[in-house]
Chains A and B, each alone.
Chain A
Amino acid sequence: MKHTLSVLLQNKPGVLSRVTGLFSGRGFNIKSLSVAETLDPSLSCLTLVTTGSDPIVEQITKQLHKLIDVIKVTDISESEYVEREMALIRVKAENTTRAEVLRVIDIFRGKVVDVSPKSYAVEVTGSSSKIQAIIDILRPIGIKEIVRTGTIAMARAPK
């Protein structure tokens, strides 16, 4: 089962290494990981996507919480949440395909962020599956380079 954990951390050197070391040392999975400062610059928020059975994910949550520099761990996939990823994709765009690439980008509500005579660089955001979908569509046209972020996620406000 896929779980998305939101982890509030002290924004100090070495903290990320404590988290990743915990995962590698105990054989837990990291599917993706994304971390940045919060509004309070002394804290950072880390979104981590992992997979495992319920007991494993419970252990992961408890072990994370045991790290002194970890303040809060929430398994946000336990309730309603929104998640986003971003990808920058450089796709071949030559005479015959330029128009088609633009149409695809438009369908996925992407943006062209760099243009050259032979390619477009596209910015696209969305859920993991949406990013995967545009990649699948663009692949036959010719993807030259791709950079993806990890997932970031936020619980939905209570109704």
Chain B
Amino acid sequence: MGKMRGSEAIIQCLLEEGVKTIFGFPGGAVIDLYDDLMDSEVNHILVRHEQGAVHAADGFARVTGNVGVALLTSGPGATNGVTAIATAYMDSIPMVILTGQVPTALIGNDAFQEVDIVGITRPCTKHNYLVSKAEDLVPTIREAFHIAQTGRPGPVLIDLPKDIVASIVDFTEKKPIRMQNYQPTYEPHMGQIEKACKQILKAKQPVLYVGGGVILSNASKELTELAQKLNIPVTMTLMGLGAYPGSDKLSMGMLGMHGSYTANMAVAKSDVLIAVGSRFDDRVTGRVDAFAPHAKIIHIDIDPTSISKNVTVDIPIVADCKHSLTAMNSWLDNSGENLGEVCDSHNPWIETVDEWTKKHPMTYIDEGEVIKPQYVIEKLDELTHGDAIITTEVGQNQMWAAQFYKFNKPRRLITSGGLGTMGYGLPAAIGAKMAFPEATVIDVAGDGSIQMNIQELATAKQYNCNVIVCILNNNYLGMVRQWQELFYDKRYAATVMEVTPDFCALAEAYGAVGIRATKTSEVEGVIKEALEKVKESTVILDFRIAREEGVFPMVPAGKATTEMLLV
């Protein structure tokens, strides 16, 4: 309490919010803050590129559920962070990004390393601030943390002019934050809960369609209870994987463009679709008018703008997923209905679902010693008992990881869903490992996307943050190549990686271990070796996979989700 430098006050605010680790990169505009950070209890991780700082803080936030914090300097430092801020925004990740700014007197003068980062990030943050008066500093930081982690979470950016950070401010006592204009609805409307439950009880072919909102609101337990109470099959979006145990018999895996045959068929044939914390994204729905055409749709989401945005909803519930599912479970328990009978009545539907899985399981064609990427993921799953934290890059590697790793717990798949940011996986893995040093953290990567933030290997080395980078190397930008193969007469424009570094040599250059596998029979041994060596060092696995392997099933863009191309 009392008077202190702005920089000290910022650090006090971080400690007050329970922030112990932040990720950043220094510069002239934030040098005061770095000076005070040096002696503080806040642990600062120096990355090698600002995008890496924000992705790492994002990975940290996704595995812990806490607000991730990144610190960047003004100008290019801030703009380098923009892609990663947009990544967090699209996936509703709670974050606070602190950026330095030139002194207030110079703002607008095209000063050295000046950029209007508040203007630039307006459309890709939940909210942002330029602190223009010293007395606003402390209340702004507190408000930013409040906004970042309440309602539908998201990144909040605070731009900090150098003179404000260096000025003397009053560190006032923290009071509960009440904002006239921002009051997210957590509690569901009980009338809507009743309507939804009654609709579900009438269903013969219900499906739970679950998204990242369930993970963000820590509602896996309540979701599992609902699914099992009424014997309802569950499908998850990419962001929702792990919300329901992937190995359970009611799980149909992922839906949508690269979803399972079962999940897409089940949604298409469902009579009641219960969407929980999902947003009817185009990668999920395919052609919108053919999405769940026979279903009454119930939609639970804390963000009113998500409701009836892409698909018209019959029973909207604007509330937190956890609160809503709890209310539904308790309504059902007290409804006087014989829930056992309801479960039994769904058995024919479950049988139909199982038939689909038998007919078209998630599979691939074995080609002997040619390494199949799906096999690599299956082995990773097996050898880590489905319990590793998997981060991904973006493209085929991401889809294979989503399809073939069985995520049994929430916050185990850390991936850029909405924005699809290549270069996300390695810094996110570092963030995850910083949060849980004991966990096995694996970045499933492609040879293309790993090169977008490969410099973070140095960060991993510096902090002994040992992760496994599992490169599914096909010397292509594989996902785009797959589209070119299918829809552009195999004209591989700009997707052949004619020069790719020797990833094993590169690993060594960064003080990591590099291991290569070129044959299927080597895969298991190599993964075992990696799981052993990662205790001491970061490991890069270079799997030379079948070059033109595709991701299937696949729903071509603009088609109905039942029009899948299968293996």
B308's nearest neighbour on chain A, judged by CB, is A55
Closest to B118 in A: A14
- Report B160 CB to chain A, min CB distance, Å: 16
Judge if B560 is at the interface, Cβ distance under 8 Å.
Answer: no
On chain B, the residues within 8 Å of A21 by CB distance are: 122-123
The answer to whether B147 has its CB under 8 Å from any CB of chain A is yes
The reply on B181 being an interface residue by CB < 8 A is: yes
- Do the beta carbons of B304 and A25 come within 8 Å of each other? no
B182 at the interface (CB under 8 A from A): yes
Given A17-B119, A18-B122, A21-B122, does the pair A71, B304 have CB atoms closer than 8 Å? no
User: Does A62 make an interface contact (CB < 8 A)?
Assistant: yes
Please give the distance in Å from B361's CB to the nearest CB on chain A. 39
Q: Report the minimal beta-carbon distance from A127 to chain B, rounded to whole angstroms.
A: 31
Q: Is B127 an interface residue (CB 8 A)?
A: yes
Residue B314 interfacial (CB < 8 Å): no
Q: Would you call B303 an interface residue if the criterion is a C-beta within 8 Å of the partner chain's C-beta atoms?
A: yes
Question: Within the assembled complex, what's the spacing in Å between the Cα atoms of A68 and B152?
Answer: 12
Note all chain A residues with C-beta closer than 8 A to B147: 68
The A contact surface, by secondary structure, is helix
B186 to chain A, nearest CB (A): 16
A68 x B123 contact (CB < 8 A): no
- Across the interface, do A65 and B122 meet the contact criterion of CB distance under 8 Å? no
A70 to chain B, nearest CB (A): 6
Known: A68-B127, A69-B181. A63 touches B305 (CB 8 A): yes
Contact B181 A70 (CB under 8 A): yes
Partner of B305, one of A17, A66, A69, A71: A66
Q: Which residues of B contact A10 (CB under 8 A)?
A: 181
For the A-B complex, the count of residue pairs with Cβ-Cβ distances under 8 Å equals 35
List B146-184 residues whose CB lies under 8 Å from chain A. Answer: 147, 179-182
State A71–B126 Cα separation when bound (angstroms). 16
**Among the interface residues B122, B181, B182, B304, which one has the most CB atoms of the partner chain A within 10 A?**
B181
**Which residues on the A side are within 8 Å of B305 (C-beta)?**
59, 62-63, 66
Segment 116-140 of B: residues with Cβ below 8 Å from A: 118-119, 122-123, 126-127, 130
Give bound CA distance, A71 to B180, whole Å. Answer: 7
Question: Could you say which of B122, B130, B180 contacts A17, with CB atoms under 8 Å apart?
Answer: B122
Mask, A65-104, CB within 8 Å of B = 1, is: 1101111000000000000000000000000000000000
| Contact indicator A68/B122 (Cβ below 8 Å) | no
Which chain A residue lies CB-closest to B182? A68
With CB as the reference atom, state the residue of chain A lying closest to B181: A71
The docked-state distance in angstroms from the alpha carbon of A66 to that of B122 is 13
Other than the given A21-B123, A71-B180, 19 more pairs (CB < 8 A) read A13-B130, A14-B118, A14-B119, A14-B122, A14-B130, A18-B122, A21-B122, A25-B123, A55-B308, A63-B305, A65-B304, A66-B303, A66-B304, A66-B305, A68-B126, A68-B147, A68-B181, A69-B181, A71-B181
**Which A residues have a C-beta under 8 Å from some C-beta of B?**
10, 13-14, 17-18, 21-22, 25, 55, 58-59, 62-63, 65-66, 68-71
